[in-house]
A and B are shown apart, each in its own frame.
Chain A
Amino acid sequence: MLQAFLVILQRDLILAIRHRAELMNPVLFFVLVVVLFPLGVGAEISILQKIAPGIIWIAALLSALLSLDRIFRTDMEDGSLEQMLISAQPMSLLILAKIIAHWMITGLPVVLVGPLLALFLGLSTEGIETLFITLLLGTPILSAIGSVGVALTVGLRRGGVILSLLVLPLYVPVLIFASQAVDASAAGFATTAPVAMLSALLLLALSLTPWAASSALKMSVS
């Protein structure tokens, strides 16, 4: 079973690396959205500083949303998904591997670039540290919840808009806890509560979403 997990993880990573051009898109999009904010709101550092956590987290949500489709789309099209569903391995485990692969491809770059952008928005050092932690805890949740949304819409010709309608409301708690944690630490308050909530959400998401996605995929291929 562990071998199946690792092989699928490796498979998805190899596939991502062989499409190097696409690999950069989500993180570029992330940077672009963040850069748009000073242009729209004005370059006054006190305002930017105040809304920096929100900006970065909303950009992270959008870039996750943009890249979600690839978790299952190509596998659906070439029949790999069917083979996984009738394989002698538990589907939820394979999905967990795919979620983690997706996070490593699209989430991890955001985790690394996010703090750098926060610097440009004038966030304090404490704020940046917390931002890094929340991104590290929060972005896997985005991939996990997203996998359910994609599993539900992957059979549709135009699933994109519906996907965002399904997934974004479910992202709200992550957005709230994460940006609040950064806000609090920038203001010099303790961040234990929201960070603990994020960790709980992460565990909950990783343990429940593979099941939901698996039954959604069974529906989608049927």
Chain B
Amino acid sequence: MIMRFIHKLGSPPYFYQFSGRLLPWLSGICLILFAYGLYGGLVLAPTDYQQGDSFRIIYIHVPAAWLSLFVYMVMAFSGAVALIWRIKITEIILINSAHIGAAFTFLALITGSIWGKPMWGTWWVWDARLTSELLLLFLYLGIIALYSAIDDKRKAARAVAILALVGVVNIPIIHYSVEWWSTLHQGPTVTKFDKPSIDTRMLIPLLVMAFAYKFLYAIVVLLRARNDVLWRERRSQWVTALFDGSK
């Protein structure tokens, strides 16, 4: 059943049609989630007794950091599917995710460093999470660079799929090693996340924001993938028919 659906979704015209129908729904849900999450986070949630209002940046920072890992997992999964079944759509999803993932990783780094300023008094601290995030950014940039260096895009997609799988094996190792490294070297004592407990009024908007980010990712990746599909299939009949009909 599921396999048949995946294969069906793998056909470019069906994917184009299906994603077209999906997008308005995704956008609607995403808007609602963002509205609630931002309102809840920036207005409803109580002020932190230690950090004051500056803690509110977590509603931007933490979901971005979570998403940056999530996107990599999606890439590794679609990479595996692309390698095994050679489905074009998964190749397209994979490579279009890389740019988005890199963007969110960058966002997490920037917001983390902005948050660091009032917390630690400097823009950058070699904190374990920030350092892992920085390395993750390099993994993303490597994927993007490799993809753009190979001219034949099907070949490039296969290369990137292999790299994503190698990366996904390495991410836990890198993360663990960096954490281990920072416990030996770490100076600053205030860690951002290891609070004994977080108020539910703070937590719920955070989780909502995390979902909102995921929907945003889904929307952007579908939009990009649809463009890519049209471009790659520009010589095929169904694309020509699509554009003749709209004129």
**Distance between A32 CB and nearest chain B CB, rounded to angstroms:** 25
- The yes or no answer to A222 lying at the interface (CB within 8 A) is yes
Inter-subunit contact A215/B138 (CB<8 Å): no
Inter-subunit contact B138/A165 (CB<8 Å): yes
Inter-subunit contact A215/B142 (CB<8 Å): no
> Which residues of chain A are near B158, meaning CB under 8 Å?
219
> Which residues of chain A are near B184, meaning CB under 8 Å?
180
In this complex, the interface size class of chain A, counting residues with CB under 8 Å from chain B, is 20 to 34
Interface residues of A in 192-211 (CB under 8 A from B): 197, 201, 208
Identify B83's interface contact among A161, A197, A215, CB under 8 A.
A215
- The yes or no answer to B174 lying at the interface (CB within 8 A) is yes
- The yes or no answer to B155 lying at the interface (CB within 8 A) is yes
Instruction: Tell me which of A58-66, A114-122, A151-159 binds B.
Output: A151-159
CA distance A169 to B169 in the complex (A): 13
> Which residues of chain B are near A180, meaning CB under 8 Å?
180-181, 184
In this complex, the interface size class of chain B, counting residues with CB under 8 Å from chain A, is 20 to 34
| Also in contact, A170 and B166, with CB within 8 A (given A162-B145, A177-B177, A201-B173) | yes
| Also in contact, A148 and B180, with CB within 8 A (given A156-B149, A166-B146, A168-B138) | no
Chain A residue nearest to B157 in the complex (CB): A219
Inter-subunit contact A212/B162 (CB<8 Å): yes
> Which residues of chain A are near B159, meaning CB under 8 Å?
152, 216, 219-220
Chain A residue nearest to B173 in the complex (CB): A173
Inter-subunit contact B141/A172 (CB<8 Å): no
Identify A165's interface contact among B145, B162, B165, B174, CB under 8 A.
B145
- The yes or no answer to B170 lying at the interface (CB within 8 A) is yes
CA distance A168 to B135 in the complex (A): 10
CA distance A172 to B177 in the complex (A): 8
- The yes or no answer to A176 lying at the interface (CB within 8 A) is yes
CA distance A215 to B82 in the complex (A): 13
Inter-subunit contact A169/B146 (CB<8 Å): no
CA distance A60 to B57 in the complex (A): 40
Inter-subunit contact B181/A162 (CB<8 Å): no
Beta-carbon contacts of B169-208 to A below 8 Å, as 1s and 0s?
Answer: 1100110111011001000000000000000000000000
CA distance A180 to B142 in the complex (A): 27
CA distance A169 to B167 in the complex (A): 9
Beta-carbon contacts of B98-142 to A below 8 Å, as 1s and 0s?
Answer: 000000000000000000000000000000000000010011011
CA distance A173 to B158 in the complex (A): 26
CA distance A23 to B165 in the complex (A): 33
Identify A216's interface contact among B142, B162, B173, CB under 8 A.
B162
Inter-subunit contact A170/B146 (CB<8 Å): no
Identify A176's interface contact among B139, B146, B165, B181, CB under 8 A.
B181
> Which residues of chain B are near A156, meaning CB under 8 Å?
149-150
Inter-subunit contact B162/A219 (CB<8 Å): yes
CA distance A162 to B141 in the complex (A): 10
Interface residues of A in 101-143 (CB under 8 A from B): none
**Distance between B175 CB and nearest chain A CB, rounded to angstroms:** 9
Inter-subunit contact A170/B170 (CB<8 Å): yes
> Which residues of chain B are near A155, meaning CB under 8 Å?
150
CA distance A219 to B184 in the complex (A): 41
A-B residue pairs in contact (CB < 8 Å), sample of 30: A148-B162, A152-B163, A153-B146, A155-B150, A158-B149, A161-B145, A162-B145, A165-B138, A165-B142, A166-B142, A166-B146, A169-B138, A170-B166, A170-B170, A170-B174, A172-B135, A172-B174, A172-B178, A173-B173, A173-B174, A176-B177, A176-B178, A176-B181, A180-B180, A180-B184, A201-B173, A212-B165, A216-B159, A219-B158, A219-B162
- Mark B residues whose CB is within 8 Å of A: 83, 135, 138-139, 141-142, 145-146, 149-150, 155, 158-159, 162-163, 165-167, 169-170, 173-174, 176-178, 180-181, 184
- Mark A residues whose CB is within 8 Å of B: 148, 152-153, 155-156, 158-159, 161-162, 165-166, 168-170, 172-173, 176-177, 180, 197, 201, 208, 212, 215-216, 219-220, 222
16 A-B pairs besides A173-B170, A173-B176 with CB distance below 8 A are A152-B146, A156-B150, A162-B145, A165-B145, A166-B142, A166-B163, A169-B142, A172-B135, A173-B173, A173-B174, A197-B177, A201-B173, A215-B162, A219-B158, A219-B159, A222-B155
- Which 7 residue pairs are nearest across A and B when measured between Cβ atoms? A173-B177, A169-B138, A176-B177, A166-B142, A165-B142, A219-B158, A176-B181
